[in-house]
Structure 1
Amino acid sequence: MARIAFILLTHKDPQGVIDQARRLTASGDFVSIHYDKSAPTEDFRMIREALAGNPSVVFARRRLKCGWGEWSLVAATLEALRAAERQFPQATHFYMLSGDCMPIKSAEYTHDFLDADDCDYIESFDFFRSDWIKTGIKEERLIYRHWFNERNQKGLFYASMKLQRRLGLSRQVPEGLQIMIGSQWWCLRRQTIEAVLQLIEEWPALVRFFRTTWIPDETFFQTLVAHVVPKTQLRSRTLTFLLFTDYGMPVTFHNDHFDLLLRQNFLFARKISAEAQELRHKLGMTWQETGQEFPISAEGPRLYYFLTGRGRIGRRFAPRFWETDGSLGRSRVVHLIVAKKWHVAKRLSERIRATTAIPAVDFVFNEQEAALPDMGGIASTVAKRERHRRALIKLLFEQFETTNLVLCLDPSALNLISDFAADRAETRILFVETEFDDTYLRGHTRRIGLANDTTPPELFERLLPAVKGDLDHEAERLRDMEFDNFETIAADRAIERNAAALARFLDLSPEMAQDLAAIPNLFD
């Protein structure tokens, strides 16, 4: 059975550290503690005395003052890791934790999970090819030497980097080493830890290189593990559930997040608020449970970003897409079918292609297959279409050799619709009014990743009103814009009324419009 040596990096809350160590060792596992030297000495003394009689706890031989983004974090991890590797030969796995981490599964579940697959869990993405780094400097982290902390020595940090750039003092990555990047929260097997520690001893240049890189805790172990472990034995993921805000700060979990945390496909979570004593107690009790099943819904990230993405007053708006001086041309007409139920819009566009001379494409900015003509590389992926949206629309007019074009859009793309309406080309809008019953809303939450088949019914009950409110609000905003040439059709209207709206929308004869309005099962 798996036995885990937890590498616990902490700098505050001594009682929380004591409780964490007692809880983890009570399940037959081990704990190696590094308590930041910057913390009060009396706090560390309190921890040492409280855990002195616990044979499953060991302390790092040296305490270091740690700074965010500095080598000191890796050095502290290595101190605790070496102590654990020496002290606990029974340990089969080594799991990196912080004082803000708590288990979200039982010890029984955790041990069974690790026993089920002989592998290492560590995020490991190519440093240069991946887009893991979203903001800030990238290759400068490696090719320049960093002696100052960007957070509290910003002036010196950037002045040093600028001087090195001017003097041509960039350096190469150690030969034979592919730099990888990922989260610092990992779980590694004993043989992997032994291989990494041996590599460090045999290759001193590694430590010299990483000692002056920026944020080495995101590259050091990730690189070395990938160097000594076959890819088939690596799982490029962390077993610790964590989210980040729009500002790049870790999301903090509170008392009302208990049920959410247990449903995520992870073993631990951070950061748990120090004030969330009820949550900490319940998670601590969960660790001790036996025979408990944990249905996994894994909706946490999407649910969080859905709720926070609604903004301070409930809404946020996407960036504009047209350049301010761009135009499709006065002689052109854009016909927009705006529908939340995409299948209705696509039935209409398919019929328009079959029975009229007006070219019609589907949801080109949402789906790969959108009834597009062959346009070369610009339309090969949805991402490319997003990057070249204005060029794409112009090319569609030219490709079809037409002055009229039908597009399908989702009502959430209100800024996009507004920009079409503001263009010198004529824009006509056909809004497909729809009702959303609970069955549709449940399916919608699954399609957008807010829930799945294992999501508890009570979460659905809380989610559905918010989701329905968002969908209704999209429709209200669209109507409130009072666009010119705005038509609507609906399932509860007579075919003749829908046909009249379609005739105005597309400049069709009554007979052709009637044919469109009478599409079998159009609104099903």
Structure 2
Amino acid sequence: MSEAVTIGVVMLVHTAFDRAEQVIRFWAAGGCPVVVHVDRAVPKAVHDAFAGRLHDLAPRVVLSPRHRCEWGTWGIVAATIAACETMLARFPDVSHVYLASGACLPLRPVAALRDYLAAWPGTDFIESATTADVPWTVGGLSEERFTLHFPFSWRRQRKLFDRWVALQRRLGLKRRIPPGIVPHMGSQWWCLTRGTLEAILSDPQRPVFDRYFRRVWIPDESYFQTLVRRHQNRPGTRIESRSLTLSKFDHQGKPHIFYDDHLQLLRRSDCFVARKIWPHAERLYATFLRQDANTMAAEPNPAKIDRVFAKATERRRRGRSGLWMQSRYPREGWEHGVTAGPYSVFEGFTELFENWETWLARMTGARVHGHLFAPQRVEWEGGQTTFAGVLTDNPRIRDHNAQMFLRNLIWNTRGERQCFQFGPGDSQLLSWDMAKDPNAQISVISGGWIVPLFHNPPPDLRERVARLQKIEAEHLGALRSPYAKARIRIWTLSEFLESPMEALQAILDDMVPAQPGPASRPRLSEAPRLRDLRGLGRFLQSLKNEGMHPYLMGDLTAEPDSPAPPPHRPRRGGAPI
């Protein structure tokens, strides 16, 4: 049965002529006549040299009349028609015509393809679906590619192309689709029976169809796909709406390129031809261009590798959480996750407790740093000058791109929870970033920064308190905004001091994952030591008495038996608020 099938191959070539020659010789060695179309844009010297190298394959390999082929234009269809007419006229024994390009690579021997076509008599393998049924159109032109005029090149005259489309939409201009056809779309690469191809090329209405498709956008994906439906009711014919050529596209409509490391992937697809192949994929060409390769009668099934392409597309579109990609940087909101993992921020705790970092590290096993955004230096754990990924303690380098500093820290330490201190005295460049980060756990004792000032009042105390209070109020506004996605707990200093053990237990419950069993979470067995706060309420009251209003600390009652600190006299020319 396989002797009744003779496959003719039409090849469209415009580059990588050494590889195209290899593939042509493969087809010819398998008994296939080949008609080659060389893009008219190729210099004559290159064309003539290529034709000369194919001279020994005559008369089974011939070249067709040349047309200029530009993506998205009629030239590709005109080149295909010219090559098909040459094929039908020169090779009357051909029963099937297989359309391929110079970047295509046969994956299975010609005998396997011949046997497969013999098992599907009278079948045209061409992807053909109406515009309402295809999900792969990219760029907003689906039905409009058939109803608008496209006299300008999308690549060379992009502004004219876009303005002409916009003008037609605004004026409501629409082309009339010729009667007798319903526009269909599909892959450019097909395998048609001789009878179907002759019916399309000899159709009395073909001049009308050709004039219409000359102004259709990307007609190589719709010309044959539409006209094959016009002749689908011929006796003994049927359409199998799929391509025997493996071609994959990304989310932008650009074809995937196969390299040497895709060898096993291509084998697994069981397809007969694949495109687009990197011209320097030596291993692929050496492996597949063999007629004695495995000839098992396997059904082409590109779906077997769809999962790999779907994962690659997802990785390219979204990236990895917390890792910014060059394709999206620095577009705000295009990142897939602000950071790569959970981390904890503590505000007011190291000011309120003695040896807070040491205690927290012992209780949670996390890496606990000081104030990473302090103005003098980055306070890495243990006073280190550099940390994971050679992150420096230089504040100027950190503040050059504070967002990437935090992202790099969390990315470089994946698997280890990072904790650091923060306050109104630190750089506030990341206030909103942390608030919007779902990976952030932020615990705030508002007004806790007053404790060091209480113990060591500076000369410009009132100005310092007013400035820090204003900064923290703006930070709390970000944490309380509807855009905040972090896990946020806020206590005033007075609220926290009412039940510190309960607050600390809630923080630890968020940081330490629950374990199976009756004691699912660790209970506090020790508490950090509070700093001496005797007289703090009276200290705040004295600030109020001087006209200052320290409201972020909550209602800390002045102790009647505490000695009142001497009133603070602001010096002239104090620091601005």
TM-score with structure 1 length normalisation? Answer: 0.59
Is the contact made by 2:271 and 2:301 (CA closer than 8 Å) also made in structure 1?
no
Aligned twin of 1:198: 202
Among candidates 244, 248, 255, match of residue 250 of structure 1: 255
Aligned twin of 1:48: 51
Offset of 1:291 from its aligned partner? Answer: 4.6
Offset of 1:258 from its aligned partner? Answer: 1.6
Is the contact made by 1:108 and 1:290 (CA closer than 8 Å) also made in structure 2?
no
Instruction: Summarize the alignment of residues 512-523 of structure 1 with structure 2, pairs less than 5 Å apart.
Output: none
Instruction: Summarize the alignment of residues 149-160 of structure 1 with structure 2, pairs less than 5 Å apart.
Output: 149-160=153-164
1:283 aligns with 2:288: yes
1:125 aligns with 2:168: no
Q: Hey, what's the Cα distance between the residues in 2 that align with 1:296 and 1:120?
A: 15
Pair 417,34 (structure 1): closer, same or farther in 2 beyond 3 Å: same
Is the contact made by 2:265 and 2:305 (CA closer than 8 Å) also made in structure 1?
yes
Offset of 1:32 from its aligned partner? Answer: 0.8
Aligned length: 350
Of residues 138-147 and 161-170 in structure 1, the stretch that sits farther from structure 2 once superposed is: 161-170
Runs of at least 5 residues in structure 1 that lack an aligned partner in the other structure: 322-414, 430-481, 501-524
Q: Which amino acid aligns with 1:136?
A: G
Is the contact made by 1:146 and 1:212 (CA closer than 8 Å) also made in structure 2?
yes
Residue by residue over 1:90-143, the C-alpha shift from the partner in whole angstroms, topping out at 9 and shown as x without a partner, is: 111111101000011122221111111121111111124543313332232121
1:77 aligns with 2:80: yes
Q: Which amino acid aligns with 2:183?
A: I
Aligned twin of 2:211: 208
Of residues 142-151 and 43-52 in structure 1, the stretch that sits farther from structure 2 once superposed is: 43-52
Is the contact made by 1:17 and 1:47 (CA closer than 8 Å) also made in structure 2?
no
Instruction: Summarize the alignment of residues 14-413 of structure 1 with structure 2, pairs less than 5 Å apart.
Output: 14-53=17-56, 54-60=58-64, 62-118=65-121, 119-199=123-203, 201-230=204-233, 233-285=238-290, 287-289=291-293, 291=295, 298=302, 299-307=304-312, 309-310=314-315, 315-316=320-321
Offset of 1:5 from its aligned partner? Answer: 0.8
Of residues 301-310 and 4-13 in structure 1, the stretch that sits farther from structure 2 once superposed is: 301-310
Of residues 185-194 and 239-248 in structure 1, the stretch that sits farther from structure 2 once superposed is: 239-248
Residue by residue over 1:277-326, the C-alpha shift from the partner in whole angstroms, topping out at 9 and shown as x without a partner, is: 221121112x44365576977532211332453459972589999xxxxx
CA RMSD, Structure 1 to Structure 2 (Å):
3.8
Is the contact made by 1:5 and 1:94 (CA closer than 8 Å) also made in structure 2?
yes
Q: Hey, what's the Cα distance between the residues in 2 that align with 1:486 and 1:295?
A: 53
Residue by residue over 1:196-252, the C-alpha shift from the partner in whole angstroms, topping out at 9 and shown as x without a partner, is: 1122x4342111110111111111000001111149821111111111233322111
3-state SS of paired residue (1:193): helix
Q: Which amino acid aligns with 2:147?
A: I
Is the contact made by 1:132 and 1:182 (CA closer than 8 Å) also made in structure 2?
no
Q: Which amino acid aligns with 1:196?
A: I
Say which one has the larger Rg.
2
Offset of 1:52 from its aligned partner? Answer: 2.5
Pair 277,164 (structure 1): closer, same or farther in 2 beyond 3 Å: same
Aligned twin of 1:349: none
Moved over 6 A (4+): 317-321, 415-419, 482-490
Instruction: Summarize the alignment of residues 487-502 of structure 1 with structure 2, pairs less than 5 Å apart.
Output: 493-494=516-517, 496=518
1:5 aligns with 2:16: no
Q: Hey, what's the Cα distance between the residues in 1 that align with 2:520 and 2:118?
A: 62
Offset of 1:55 from its aligned partner? Answer: 1.8
3-state SS of paired residue (1:8): strand
Pair 179,259 (structure 1): closer, same or farther in 2 beyond 3 Å: same
3-state SS of paired residue (1:135): coil
Offset of 1:187 from its aligned partner? Answer: 0.8
Q: Hey, what's the Cα distance between the residues in 2 that align with 1:183 and 1:90?
A: 26
Offset of 1:160 from its aligned partner? Answer: 2.5
3-state SS of paired residue (1:33): strand
Q: Hey, what's the Cα distance between the residues in 2 that align with 1:483 and 1:303?
A: 40
Is the contact made by 1:132 and 1:181 (CA closer than 8 Å) also made in structure 2?
no
Offset of 1:485 from its aligned partner? Answer: 7.0
Q: Which has the higher helix share?
A: 1
Aligned twin of 1:458: none
Q: Hey, what's the Cα distance between the residues in 1 that align with 2:208 and 2:437?
A: 53
TM-score with structure 2 length normalisation? Answer: 0.54
Of residues 185-194 and 306-315 in structure 1, the stretch that sits farther from structure 2 once superposed is: 306-315
Q: Hey, what's the Cα distance between the residues in 1 that align with 2:72 and 2:154?
A: 8
Aligned twin of 2:491: none
Pair 270,417 (structure 1): closer, same or farther in 2 beyond 3 Å: same
Q: Which amino acid aligns with 2:227?
A: L
Q: Which amino acid aligns with 1:268?
A: V
Q: Hey, what's the Cα distance between the residues in 1 that align with 2:46 and 2:89?
A: 26
User: In percent, how many aligned pairs have the same letter?
Assistant: 33
Q: Hey, what's the Cα distance between the residues in 1 that align with 2:186 and 2:265?
A: 24
Q: Which amino acid aligns with 1:224?
A: L
Runs of at least 5 residues in structure 2 that lack an aligned partner in the other structure: 323-332, 337-435, 441-479, 488-506, 523-577
Q: Hey, what's the Cα distance between the residues in 2 that align with 1:295 and 1:226?
A: 24
